[in-house]
Amino acid sequence: MVKKPHASSETAIAPAGTRLAPVLLADDWTDYALLDSGDGHKLERLGPYVFMRPDSQALWPRRLHDKEWVYDAAFSGQDSEELGRWRFVRRVPETWPVSWGGIRFHARCTPFRHLGLFPEQSVHWRWCRDLIGQRVTGGGTAPKILNLFGYTGVASLVCAAAGAQVTHVDASKKAVGFARENQALAGLDDRPIRWIVDDALKFVEREIRRGNRYHGIILDPPKHGRGPNGEIWKLEEGLDRLLTACAELLEDDALFLVATVYAVRLSFLALENGLAAALDQRPGQIEAGEMALVEQNSGRLLPTAIFARWSGPPSRQK
């Protein structure tokens, strides 16, 4: 039976009958830093460059003076998936290399305000890498991992470098092209990664019919999206169906299923309950809560997303 932890992974004391949600902190970066946040924006360093981007979660005042918000480029537009415009104060190349965990990949300024990666996702990269590593070093066969809505593929590269066979799926041909460029930069061309341009839900349902199964699934769906053949994705309407289908794809000795959700009016409790229902009494443990970035110097946390993730029983991790 799925167990739900009743306290965060960090030391905390709470009154009896209350529950503390874990907050996963992406504090393991060298090439990324959150310099300040507030007044609906965040100031970040990625590699040698500094950026200002909108962030609706940053409701508080800035800590740094306006004169200290010095950046190479700023994005104008809403904190959403709508197109906007970059204003470059200094020259920023089309791409530049950054790294995490010894893996190199490209950063870039995209028309949707993103920088080619989501730094808060490092908490899941590390978690998946460690579980895969335990399986591989324990003498097990290379686990099969499915990365849905895989974007530019950093999670896929981390899993492949840890010893997994990876299937990476994204509806954007351009994003998959960026992911393959990242594979080359990382020096992982010899690793078993399948790059697939497809609608995530349709791909999962076909995999079920084909009888294919996976030891781990990474799920990072957008709020809205469009498949390569015009399929419409709305998270509130499709998430439950997708979670249920992904649970059906898990091997008996599966390692993990992790889901992250951004920019919706949805509690982590709702996501946790949906994942628990999809897993339908499957043994293991579910952890759910929030993800955040840590401001440099101040330690203030900027919330970024909610998550729910399941891991199989320890006896099945080997």
Q: State the pLDDT at residue 80.
A: 54
Q: What is the largest CA-CA distance in the chain?
A: 59
- Tell me how far apart the alpha carbons of residues 101 and 226 are, in angstroms, rounded to a whole number: 32
Q: State the pLDDT at residue 228.
A: 79
* CA nearest to 232, candidates 206, 199, 195, 254: 199
Query: What stretch of H or E contains 129?
Result: helix 122-137
Q: State the pLDDT at residue 237.
A: 80
Chain centroid to CA 15:
32
Residues 6 or more apart in contact with residue 257 via CB below 8 angstroms: 216, 217, 219, 246, 247, 250, 275, 279, 309, 310
Q: Which segments of 149-265 are extended strands (E)? A: 165-170, 193-197, 216-219, 224-226, 232-234, 256-261
Could you give the C-alpha distances from 234 to 114, 169, 231, 264, in angstroms and in order?
20, 17, 10, 11
Structure confidence by residue, pLDDT tens digits, 130-175: 999 999 998 878 999 999 999 999 999 999 999 999 999 999 999 9
Q: State the pLDDT at residue 21.
A: 77
The answer to whether 214 and 167 are in contact (CB under 8 A) is: yes
Average pLDDT, the chain: 90
Q: State the pLDDT at residue 6.
A: 35
- Beta 232-234 vs 224-226: how paired, if at all? antiparallel
Residues 6 or more apart in contact with residue 277 via CB below 8 angstroms: 240, 243, 244
And the tokens for 204? Answer: 């999962």
Please report the domains of the chain, with CATH numbers, ordered by start residue. Answer: 26-107 (2.60.40.1180), 119-316 (3.40.50.150)
In order along its 318 residues, the chain shows pLDDT tens digits of 555 443 333 334 445 555 667 999 999 999 999 999 999 999 999 999 999 999 999 999 999 999 999 999 999 876 555 567 999 999 999 999 999 999 999 999 998 889 999 999 999 999 999 999 999 998 878 999 999 999 999 999 999 999 999 999 999 999 999 999 999 999 999 999 999 999 999 999 999 999 999 999 999 997 867 777 777 767 778 899 999 999 999 999 999 999 999 977 788 999 999 999 999 989 999 999 999 999 999 999 999 999 999 999 986 555
- Tell me how far apart the alpha carbons of residues 266 and 274 are, in angstroms, rounded to a whole number: 11
Q: State the pLDDT at residue 79.
A: 55
Q: State the pLDDT at residue 30.
A: 98
DSSP 8-state code for residue 142: P
Q: State the pLDDT at residue 138.
A: 83
- Tell me how far apart the alpha carbons of residues 249 and 261 are, in angstroms, rounded to a whole number: 20
